A = this chain, B = another copy of it.
Amino acid sequence: MLELEQKVGNYMYIGLDLGGTNMTAAVIDDQFNIISRATKSTLAKRPHDLIIKDMYDVTCEAATKAGRNIESFETWGIGMPSYVNQETKKVVHANNFGWINFPIFDYLEKYTKMPIIIENDANCAALGETIAGAGKAYHNTIMITIGTGLGGGIVIEDLIYSGADGMGAELGHTKLVYDGTRCSCGQKGCVESYCSATALIRQMQEALAYDKDSIVWDWCEGDLVKIDGRMIFDAANEKDYVATKVVNQFCDYLSGALSTYITIFRPEAIIIGGGVANAGDILFDRLREKTIINTFAASEIGIPQILPAKLGNDAGIIGAALLKKFR
């Protein structure tokens, strides 16, 4: 009887993470475990109606695998790499897809009349990690995802905060160095241009030009293009002088970015995701130490926890599915 009640009470959520390469749908239970999932290639340059159809189909597939019909869920949550203007209900600019002011809701409505919520994928990841991952013990968090670029998400009292018009929280494009290094966005001195994996690799390549003794010269077989983030952290763990210097400088820059977010939001925790977050102590020890040093009033009022993300790529799907409940 208890078992039955638990099953009946087992509220479920469905979400879709629409990426530039793959789209993944999942059903999650009320303990935030993924109980089914389905994936398709996005093939983002196809005509949009084919992509929209696959978005629906792959989500139906995840529902079916969980023994449910998509229409039996209260809401369909979708994360994707774009702003969504919540007033006009349009995807403002999805670079990978070539969608500009794209009325995605109109197209999705051809398949289902169920309520649909669409959010930026970095925001979904922040929500997922906060509700179900590294930030589970907290309600006010900031998540930084460090990859090719640097994405950010802000969670206030378990709700995504993305600015008054839903197009903010672009933490990677806040300024770290006024008039500094050119960013991929065209601006200068953005956090992304100092603290992304791309920036780390560039910083290492620049440092190697002045130092031929680094172990990384061997590892990359003399071809600097082969250097990736892991190689740099591995070399630093081997106490390679150049790699250590570069990793330390990278942590210092990142601490500067975190100091701004802390000074504004005073979150309970900052969660670091993306490949770089796997670097472990060599990143986090220095980052914590320097964030204390570089943050206003930290000696009086402390700084938040700085934690590695836990859910990996699933954070975005879980966050998308939870858009209903927590937004």
Contact = CB atoms under 8 A, between A and B. Distances in A.
A170 B264 contact: yes
Interface residues of A, number: 48
Contacts of A154: 264
A190 interface: yes
A212 to B, nearest CB: 28
A180 to B, nearest CB: 8
B164 A265 contact: yes
B266 A171 contact: no
Contact of A264 (B92, B174, B179, B267): B174
A175 B259 contact: yes
A260 B175 contact: yes
A228 interface: no
B300 A267 contact: no
Interface in A153-194: 154, 156, 163-171, 173-180, 185, 187-190, 194
B256 A168 contact: no
Q: How many copies does the complex hold?
A: 2
A74 to B, nearest CB: 25
Interface string A225-262: 00000000000000000000000000001001101101
Contacts of A209: none
A256 B173 CA distance: 11
Nearest to A187: B296
A263 B267 CA distance: 18
Contact of A178 (B140, B177, B187): B177
A163 B294 contact: no
A297 interface: yes
Given A176-B175, A296-B185, A296-B190, A167 B301 contact: yes
A156 B270 CA distance: 22
A178 to B, nearest CB: 4
A83 interface: yes
Given A178-B253, A263-B173, A140 B167 contact: no
Contacts of A253: 178
A127 to B, nearest CB: 16
B294 A187 contact: yes
10 contacts: A93-B297, A163-B264, A163-B265, A166-B266, A167-B297, A174-B263, A176-B178, A177-B178, A178-B194, A188-B294
Interface of A: 83, 92-93, 139-140, 154, 156, 163-171, 173-180, 185, 187-190, 194, 253, 256-257, 259-260, 262-268, 294-297, 300-301
Given A164-B268, A167-B301, A175-B260, 9 more contacts: A164-B267, A165-B266, A168-B263, A168-B264, A169-B264, A170-B296, A174-B263, A175-B294, A178-B194
List 7 tightest A-B contacts by C-beta distance, closest first: A163-B266, A140-B164, A173-B296, A168-B266, A178-B256, A174-B260, A165-B266
